[in-house]
Structure 1
Amino acid sequence: MISPTDRDIPFADAVWLNPPAEAVADEAGLLVTTREGSDFWRTTSYGFVRDDGHALLTDFPPGTAVEVTFRADFTELYDQAGAMVRVDAGTWIKAGVEMSDGQPQLGAVVTHGTSDWSLAPVPDWAGHEVTVRVSRSGDAVTVRARRADEAWRTVRLAPLDPDAEARAGLFCCSPQRAGLRVRFTRLAAGPADTALH
Structure 2
Amino acid sequence: MQEIVVFSALLSGINFTWYNEPKKWSINQTNINVHTDGNTDFWRKTHYGFERDNGHFYYQSLHGDKSFTVAVNIRGKYNTLYDQGGLMLRTDENNWIKCGVEYVDGQQFASVVVTVNGWSDWSVVSIKAPEVLKLRAKREKEAVHIDFAEGEDGDFKMMRLAYLPVTDRSRAMMVGIMCASPNNATQGFDISFEHLNIAVDPNTNGSERRFFRSCLRYHKMNYTLYNSLPNTCEPSKDASTHLCERHVATIHEQFRLLFLLLNRPFLLDFVSPNRKFRYP
Give the alignment's TM-score, normalised by structure 2: 0.62
2:121 corresponding residue in structure 1: 116
Q: Name which of 82, 86, 89 aligns with 1:85.
A: 89
Matched, 1:189 2:219: no
Moved over 3 A (4+): none
Contact 1:72 1:130 in 2 (8 A): no
Please report how far the alpha carbon of residue 36 of structure 1 lies from its aligned counterpart in structure 2 after TM superposition: 1.4
Q: Name which of 47, 51, 56 aligns with 1:49.
A: 51
- State the distance in 2 between where 1:161 and 1:33 align: 32
- State the distance in 2 between where 1:74 and 1:91 align: 26
- State the distance in 2 between where 1:8 and 1:81 align: 23
- Unmatched 5+ stretches in structure 1: 1-6, 193-197
Contact 2:148 2:156 in 1 (8 A): yes
Residue correspondences, number: 185
More strand by share: 1
- State the distance in 1 between where 2:188 and 2:106 align: 19
1:195 corresponding residue in structure 2: none
**Residue identity in the other structure for 1:145:** F
Matched, 1:165 2:172: yes
Please report how far the alpha carbon of residue 170 of structure 1 lies from its aligned counterpart in structure 2 after TM superposition: 0.4
- State the distance in 2 between where 1:88 and 1:41 align: 12
Higher-Rg structure is 2
Listed one character per residue, the Cα deviations across residues 154-185 of structure 1 (whole Å, up to 9, x for unaligned) are 11111123536311110000011232111112
Please report how far the alpha carbon of residue 28 of structure 1 lies from its aligned counterpart in structure 2 after TM superposition: 5.7
Contact 2:74 2:194 in 1 (8 A): yes
SS in 1 for 2:13: helix
* Identity score, percent: 33
- State the distance in 1 between where 2:9 and 2:199 align: 9
1:146 corresponding residue in structure 2: 149
Contact 2:77 2:189 in 1 (8 A): no
- State the distance in 2 between where 1:9 and 1:91 align: 28
1:178 corresponding residue in structure 2: 187
Distance 1:137 1:158, change over 3 A: same
> Bigger relative contact order, structure 1 or 2, given CA contacts below 8 A and separation 6+?
1
Please report how far the alpha carbon of residue 136 of structure 1 lies from its aligned counterpart in structure 2 after TM superposition: 0.8
Equivalent residues in 2 for 1:22-61, closer than 5 Å:
22-26=24-28, 29-61=31-63
- Unmatched 5+ stretches in structure 2: 1-7, 202-280
More helix by share: 2
Please report how far the alpha carbon of residue 145 of structure 1 lies from its aligned counterpart in structure 2 after TM superposition: 1.2
2:218 corresponding residue in structure 1: none
Contact 1:11 1:30 in 2 (8 A): no
SS in 2 for 1:169: strand
Contact 1:28 1:185 in 2 (8 A): yes
Equivalent residues in 2 for 1:84-103, closer than 5 Å:
84-103=88-107
Distance 1:35 1:124, change over 3 A: closer
Please report how far the alpha carbon of residue 11 of structure 1 lies from its aligned counterpart in structure 2 after TM superposition: 4.8
Listed one character per residue, the Cα deviations across residues 23-54 of structure 1 (whole Å, up to 9, x for unaligned) are 11246622101111110001111110010000
